[in-house]
Amino acid sequence: MLMQLQGRALALLNKIAGAQWPDRLRLRKPIERWLYQGSKTSFSLMTQRGGQSRPRPASSANPSGLFDLTLSEDQRLLQDTLQQVAAELLRPAAADADHNARCPAELRASLAELGLTHYGVPQAHGGLADDAACVTGALLTETLAHGDVSLALVSLQGLSVANLLRRFATASAQAQWLPALLTENAPQIALALAEQQVLADPHRLRCRAERKGKGYVLSGSKAMLVGGAEASHLIVSAYADGEPALFIVERNSAGVSCRAQPAMGLKGAALAQVQLTKVRVPQAARLTDQHFAYQQLLDVLALGGCALAVGVAQAALDYVIPYVNDRHAFGEPISHRQGVAFPVANMAIELEGVRLLLWRACARIDQQQSFTREAYLARLQAEDKLMRIASDAVQLLGGHGFTQEHPVERWYRDVRGFAVLANSLVL
């Protein structure tokens, strides 16, 4: 086991060591530091547990129970590294991705080399997920979304699927799919969960799976999924035997049709609609059993949306501050006026409030406590406050904010897609 884990880290290191882009972007040093730390920690974790890979009980995750907002050494390094990835890899590619409505293949490959999927795969299956996985996931999601939310979504699909399988799939489904996610030619799995109906209620899915022989027949339609066009597989939510269930479906199965579904924003994520017409799948395609905690899936999806939108809102705040200091009107920087300065203050206040709600919910997940209430409240504040932040960002740039010379108009369009964000990423 120990050997295997080290082997994993080495393989990951090797892959990045061979890649060109870290040098081009002066990212090699931070990435090396991060990998070193990552393998060191998981190594010491393993020795502590004498090679056992069972997660530590909740109590030991925070033995003192103290209120604490300090990131672990691991988390800080990961954040440092991904901040640079976001700034040097994602942000420069964001405008084109928005314009062309896709993430360039080369960028996709570079992002895959980061190996973020490891953070969602349990150590037993060769990954690095630990008992702070959800908080870590929220952090890295926010950090990447600061570069660009669409590209972050694309880069985090593997992690998201790993998280979904780890948290909700049956042991056999995990064994079948999780190790595969870490391989060179990992399946490209897209989440197909949201349905397009007004006043959509995820507890009233329209998509159905009827038992037939030894398998199921799936029918229904799913909207605004990320990476649908490029996917090899889809994970579809549907009612089966009267309860919600998840199925994995090959994208080119008979009866699956997919079309681009462009929207107001999130264009770089190449949103797609999928139609399932009497799609036959085997019994093994059902990833969940009767113990499936569907509500919890909805909750972690909402938190994924929060983390993504927090990243965008932070980007907006960081963009606005130097702008309003440099921009002059009426003989002084516009930031000298309260009509400008106060919205900036409020952006920071509300953003921090949402981030703390998000962290609380995620930390509760890591501690194996209930989190439905916390996720719900985080979502409410996120949807309301973060949209306001993106809107104020455009406002504070005036007419310039309305043009595509600045990214704020894109962030305005992206954050309005909260309903998509909250169906696209499992933390």
Partner 1 sequence: MINLETPRKFRGLIAQARQVAGQYYRPISRKYDLAEHDYPKELDMLAALLDGMNAGSPESAGARTSKRQSSEHEEGVRNGSNLSTCLGIMELCWGDVGLLLAMPRQGLGNAAIAAVANDEQLKRFDGIWAAMAITEPDCGSDSAAIRTTAVRDGDHYVLNGEKIFVTSGARAGAVVVWATLDKGLGRAAIKSFVVEHGTPGMEVTRLEKKLGIKASDTAAIRFSDCRVPAENLLGNPEVDVAKGFAGVMETFDNTRPMVAAMAVGLAKASLDRARELLQDHCALDYRKPLLSVSHAEAQLYQLEAEWEASRLLTLKAAWMADNRLPNSKEASMAKAKAGRMATDVALKCVELCGLSGYGEDELLEKWARDAKILDIFEGTQQVQLLIVARRLLGKSSKELK
Binding site for partner 1 (CB under 8 A): 61-62, 64-72, 132, 135, 199-203, 295, 321, 324-325, 332-333, 335-336, 338, 341-342, 344-346, 348-350, 352-354, 356-357, 359-360, 362-364, 367, 369, 372-378, 380-381, 384
The single residue listed with the structure tokens 């699956």 is: 256
- Of the pair 234, 375, the CB lying nearest partner 1 is at 375
- Of the pair 243, 352, the CB lying nearest partner 1 is at 352
- Of the pair 34, 359, the CB lying nearest partner 1 is at 359
- Of the pair 246, 351, the CB lying nearest partner 1 is at 351
- Of the pair 187, 333, the CB lying nearest partner 1 is at 333
Give the SS3 label for residue 256.
strand
- Of the pair 65, 213, the CB lying nearest partner 1 is at 65
Sign of the CA dihedral running 356, 361, 363, 369: positive
- Of the pair 10, 345, the CB lying nearest partner 1 is at 345
| Residue 285 DSSP one-character state | G
Task: Report which of 197, 186, 130 is spatially closest to residue 158, judged by C-alpha positions.
Answer: 186
Number of Cα atoms under 13 Å in the Cβ half of residue 16: 24
Min CB(105)–partner 1 separation in Å: 36
Min CB(271)–partner 1 separation in Å: 20
Check: CB of residue 267 under 8 Å from CB of residue 147. no
Q: Label residue 113 exposed, middle or buried (CB < 10 Å: 0-12, 13-18, 19+).
A: middle
Q: What is the dihedral of CA 46, 292, 154, 38, to 10 degrees?
A: -10
CA 236 from centroid of its chain's CA atoms: 17
Min CB(101)–partner 1 separation in Å: 28
Based on its alpha-carbon atoms, the radius of gyration of the chain, rounded to whole angstroms, reads: 21
Give the SS3 label for residue 271.
coil
Min CB(362)–partner 1 separation in Å: 8
Min CB(240)–partner 1 separation in Å: 20
Min CB(25)–partner 1 separation in Å: 29
d(CA 64, CA 195): 43
Min CB(375)–partner 1 separation in Å: 8
